[in-house]
Chain A
Amino acid sequence: MSAGATTANADLRARAEALGQALPPLLAEAEMLAATVMLGEHGRRRAGLGDEFWQYRPAHQGDSARMIDWRRSARSDAHFVREREWQAAQSVTLWVDPSKSMSFTGDKGRAAKGDQAKLLALALAVLLLRGGERVGLAGMAAPRAGRSQMLRLAARLSGAEDGEDFGAPETEGMVSHGRAVFLSDFLGDLAAVEAGLARAADRGVKGVLMQILDPAEEEFPFAGRTIFESMGGTVRFETQQAGDLRARYLARLAERKDRLAMLARAVGWHFTTHHTGQPAQSALLWAYGALQGGR
């Protein structure tokens, strides 16, 4: 065995251990958050494929003899067919913006935007998996059901970092007519978001756009001569009086939110803005409700 292979092995193990250390807290936190949401009935309230009994109906022409419920039919003269409730599982694809801009926090006491997004995504996944849905990560993990998928998602999310300054929605691996959740600050190029949404809409995917912002980004509490840089340092802007820019910055931010909401409405998606300063629970509830359909 060569020395290089040994090093690589050791490196891998160290990384795996670090990952393992990071995993349980994120998962535990997400599960704790998910536990606050009560799961309701999950059936589709119509006959279909499923395990649960739905109703008996008289047998029609064309029903195969194998489908007749003989026990029920024996109690009367007619033949009955036992129908089951349709319990088709949804495929939900999550996309959490892995870009550097998500690592921003305006205050040391607040979690970074990315952490909040991952937490929300994982909690949502926990909820959905418990409901029997299949959950996947766009471009990283195909939608599957089950507890093992939960661990897989947690591992993928923890490692998800990207060198880009601003992220673009990933639509790869999205199941047609499934659901999708995009978690990002959407401060980057809006055309990329538009394109991503269009691709998703083409496949008949419905879903949720959740914009996650830091309160500092909402308030712009800066003054004086300042050079603003993006998190990766690729974009740079210098001003002499940062305080004077506040109003115009806020106007631009509002405009962007409007645009996002309009885009979402156009493709039948839901859009909301969540601030890292607020509790994650309300955002989770909203996202879960929005995924259920309805609203």
Chain B
Amino acid sequence: MFMIGPVGFAVPWLLAGLIALPILWLLLRAVPPAPIRRRFPGVALLLGLKDDENEADKTPWWLLLLRMLAVAAAIVGFAGPVLNPDVRVAAGGPLLVLVDGSWADARDWPRRMDRAAALVDEAGREGRTVAVVRLSDAPTEVEFQTADVWAGRVAGLQPQPWAPAGLAEWAGNLPQGGFESVWLSDGLAHDGREGLLAELSARGPVRVIESPRPVLALHPATFEDGAVAVAVSRLPAADAVSVDVVARGPDPAGIERELARAVLPFGAGEARAEATLNLPPELRNRITRFEIEGVRSAGAVSLTDDSLKRRKVAIIGAGPDQEALQLLSPTHYLRQALEPVAELVDGSLTDVLLANPDVVILADVARLTQAETDATLDWLEKGGLLLRFAGPRLAASDVSRMTEDPLMPVRLREGGRTVGGAMSWGEPKALAPFVEGSPFFGLPTPSDVTVKAQVLAQPDPELSQRTIAALEDGTPLVTRKVVGDGQVVLVHVTANAEWSTLPLSGLFVSMLERLAVSTRPATPEAADLAGQVWVPEVVLDAYGQLSDAGEVAGVEGADLAAAIASGPAAAFPPGLYAGPDRRVALNVIGAETELRAAEWPAGTVIEGLEGQTAQSLKAGFLSGALGLLLLDILAALWVAGRLSGLGRRAAVLAVAVMVGSLAPQARAQEAGPDDDFALRATTEVVLAHVLTGNAEVDGLAEAGLRGLGDRLWERTTIEPALPVGVDLERDELAFFPFLYWPVVAGQAAPSAAAYDKLNDYLRTGGMILFDTRDADVAGFGGTTPEGQALQTIAAGLDIPPLEQIPGDHVLTRTFYLLQEFPGRHAQGSLWVEAAPAAAEEAADGMPFRNLNDGVTPVVIGGNDWAAAWATDDMGAPLLPVGRGFAGERQREMSYRFGINLIMHVLTGNYKSDQVHVPALLERLGQ
């Protein structure tokens, strides 16, 4: 293609036409503009006059220039100019577009897709077949199809929240034969990339497109020395910047918000930045996720599971009077095991229960006072976990001997047993493997854990159910009972090493974890998860957005552990996985994940995303030429003096229009219609009616509100402006204190957004008068079509309980004293928000109850008030009401109802305060 600067020409030989321009110049110049013939009697006076200059008969130079430009633009336009043409030699053959489609792509996915779409379009123009492959998908056969097949699909492609895995399999699936490849890489090294690249290179040329924007990855937060540590990695490690990491979670009201923020400074050339957050446990326990602010990628979001949560654990020993060695203390091992991972609460049982701990551990405590028992039971009912350990005292006491103690899971035999001791037969007993259904199922049972002494459970029907761990011989070792929302767990040995070696083993800690006594380490071990089924609760998409997982089959704990180690995959999307008693987060970035840049072999063409797309300039040049020719017509007319008066104005207008249409549409939108609407609605009190779409009803509603407004203006200090029709879907409702809503049969319910607006409106003090206009003719049980429409509409509204308007409702006395509320019909009943059930009865001699506060958000009736209010522009009633004088009286009463209603809307329950008048008078001493 012939190129001049960045512009190429499709038909360059046409440019030779430009040589003809000077000839054209001479020709045009030689031909003067045609003269006008005029009849003019004064010609006799002109005879003999000479023209000043002979030059004037030639076309003026600027007109010539205009024409030359027009012709030149036409020539250039037909030569097919293209800005930034793709000058690469077309490789021919099929084109394979590979997209990594990983979480790292999400940061600039639209641009990637633009680029991919441009590649597909280009291939389509060249008639090549295309295949687009998202490498994060499971490998499939690659098939080349025509570009228009792919054009639609490319637009629908989305990144996946995991890294491409099966690159080697993709390499195996490549079709035979040569083709060109374009690889839109996310910039990260993935396993098997070299193999795939080698395969691609073997088939044809490979281009690589990478985004220069850095990849940021947030590692899971860890708990270190009482503080939360967050770390962010980046690639490439370039200049010094700082990123903000935000911790989010529900506030006490349950609303998701930012709980904490850490600024992580990257030094120049540093790939990793860390910071710690010092948070109080209450705040820390609420954090549900960390995210890097301003980065839309799953890699910038780290979900927290229970690992950050610190449980409050109260350990109650046998009493402070024990003078014993530290190692023999019944609570020593518990403290050792729990101190790093839980908040320990000290104090007496009644004291610590006030702190509402998650777990209370009673180590060899036998007797509790009745008050302690009751308090503990209460706490258990609310979901506490009471963990008891046996010991000499418990064995010696008669707690739970004959009848089961409420704070013990089983009845105990007297004395317990001792095995493998100096005075007994047999070997110390080892643990039996944990059976399915036990919370400890899946934990290994180390052989060196032995039990020398224990308390024994009485054989009871429930004993086998309550046993969650047993010895080799089937003797229960750990029993559990559910009390309300909580549970009581008894370990039949001591919490120190006196009776067994259990507290010395790692199993002890694992068991405490499984019992949700202690917090797990940040990264769950495979063993911790094994044997349990984990169901995803929420999942992350590639952009870091959380969504409900829906009904998804659970995954095996072992597999999940493997996924946590290796990163999420299609079968294990990142998210929160819920197990029996805990939740595990599967994050895109693990604690040890390292960002490695993709390294391409030397000689690979690597491009940025900002490819310049070819842009045809032909249309621009041709329309420019056309515009110049139009200008030339006007200019020629002007030069010839044929433009006069009106014609001249029209010409100026035409030029202005032309310039206006050629100029880019860059006008900033100034005060739009919304502002006008807001100003109109808020500078004065405006009554509004809901536009139903029925022109007759809407017109009547407007006329009615106009009539009511006139009456208000005459009689009260409320001086409303002209009423406004409100489109629920489009208009802001907050401007209006009052909405009149005539209900039309078969009216469609508003959209969800409109419902949100309406509910906001009702909650924040707006009032809607629903008018079914049917005089309530259906009466009890039946409904009119309008009534049905009202039910449909009101279904989505936040309407409080209603009651028929009581005789002492404030609406009966806000301006006029009224007892009935007629409109065009007089019989219908009126419904308002029900008074609280606790409202006291009217005191003796008081005309109304002591009801304060609250303006009813809705008033519902069917008396067709707007029809009674409606007046024409002259103030004359539009529709007849009733007959004769009685009818006019009814119209007057309907106006009074309207005035009362608007007064109620604007002054609230001010008139209710009358009930206080006697009290006020009394206080004034009268």
Contact = CB atoms under 8 A, between A and B. Distances in A.
Interface string B1-44: 00000000000000000000000000000001111111111111
Contacts of A240: 32, 51, 54, 56-57
Contacts of B39: 104, 228-231
A217 interface: yes
Interface stretch (B229-237, B416-424, B486-494, B635-643): B635-643
Nearest to A234: B43
A238 to B, nearest CB: 7
A226 B45 contact: no
Given A223-B641, A228-B46, A229-B43, A239 B38 contact: no
Interface string A190-232: 0000000000000000000000001011001011111111110
Given A222-B641, A224-B639, A253 B45 contact: yes
A249 B52 contact: no
A238 B38 CA distance: 10
B43 A230 contact: yes
B876 interface: no
B917 interface: no
A140 to B, nearest CB: 23
A237 B641 contact: no
Contact of B42 (A102, A244, A249): A249
Most chain A CB within a 10 A radius of its CB, from B38, B42, B47: B42
Contacts of B45: 187, 249, 252-253, 256
Nearest to A221: B644
A226 B35 contact: yes
Contact of B36 (A104, A187, A224, A241): A224
B641 A187 contact: no
A104 B38 contact: no
A236 interface: yes
Given A187-B42, A226-B35, A227-B35, A248 B49 contact: yes
A65 interface: no
B51 A239 contact: yes
Interface in A93-116: 101-102, 104, 113
Contact of B44 (A104, A188, A243): A188
A187 B51 contact: no
Contacts of A239: 46, 49, 51
A248 B52 CA distance: 11
A225 B33 contact: yes
A226 B36 CA distance: 5
A239 B33 CA distance: 12
B636 to A, nearest CB: 11
A239 B54 CA distance: 10
A51 B574 CA distance: 133
Q: How large is the interface on B (under 10, 10 to 19, 20 to 34, 35 or more residues)?
A: 20 to 34
B49 A245 contact: yes
Contacts of B42: 187, 217, 220, 228, 249, 253
A217 B41 contact: yes
Interface residues of A, number: 38
A249 B45 CA distance: 6
Contacts of B38: 222, 226-229
Interface string A247-273: 011001100100000000000000000
Interface string B610-646: 0000000000000000000000000000011110000
B641 A226 contact: yes
B41 A225 contact: no
A109 to B, nearest CB: 13
Interface string B630-670: 00000000011110000000000000000000000000000
A242 interface: yes
A185 interface: yes
Nearest to B34: A225
A187 B41 contact: yes
Contacts of B53: 241
A18 interface: no
Given A240-B56, A242-B641, A230 B47 contact: no
A245 B40 CA distance: 14
B46 A230 contact: no
Contacts of B34: 225
Given A224-B639, A226-B36, A187 B44 contact: yes
B46 A166 contact: no
A262 to B, nearest CB: 17
B320 to A, nearest CB: 120
Contacts of B36: 224-227
A224 to B, nearest CB: 3
A128 B34 CA distance: 52
A235 interface: yes
Contacts of A230: 39-41, 43-44
Interface in A160-189: 166, 185, 187-188
B639 A244 contact: no
B49 to A, nearest CB: 5
Which one of B40, B46, B639, B642 has the greatest number of beta carbons of chain A within 10 Å?
B40
Contacts of A245: 46, 49, 51
Contacts of B33: 224-225
A110 to B, nearest CB: 14
Contacts of A104: 39-41
A228 B56 CA distance: 17
Given A222-B641, A227-B37, A237-B43, 16 more contacts: A187-B45, A188-B44, A225-B32, A225-B34, A225-B641, A226-B36, A228-B38, A235-B47, A239-B46, A240-B54, A240-B56, A240-B57, A241-B53, A241-B56, A242-B641, A245-B49
Interface of B: 32-47, 49, 51-54, 56-57, 639-642
30 contacts: A104-B39, A185-B41, A214-B41, A220-B42, A222-B38, A222-B641, A224-B639, A225-B32, A225-B34, A225-B36, A226-B37, A226-B641, A227-B35, A228-B38, A228-B39, A228-B43, A229-B37, A229-B43, A230-B39, A238-B35, A239-B51, A241-B53, A241-B56, A244-B52, A249-B42, A249-B45, A249-B46, A249-B49, A252-B45, A252-B46
**What are the 7 A-B residue pairs with the smallest beta carbon separation, nearest first?**
A224-B641, A101-B41, A223-B641, A225-B35, A240-B57, A228-B43, A252-B45
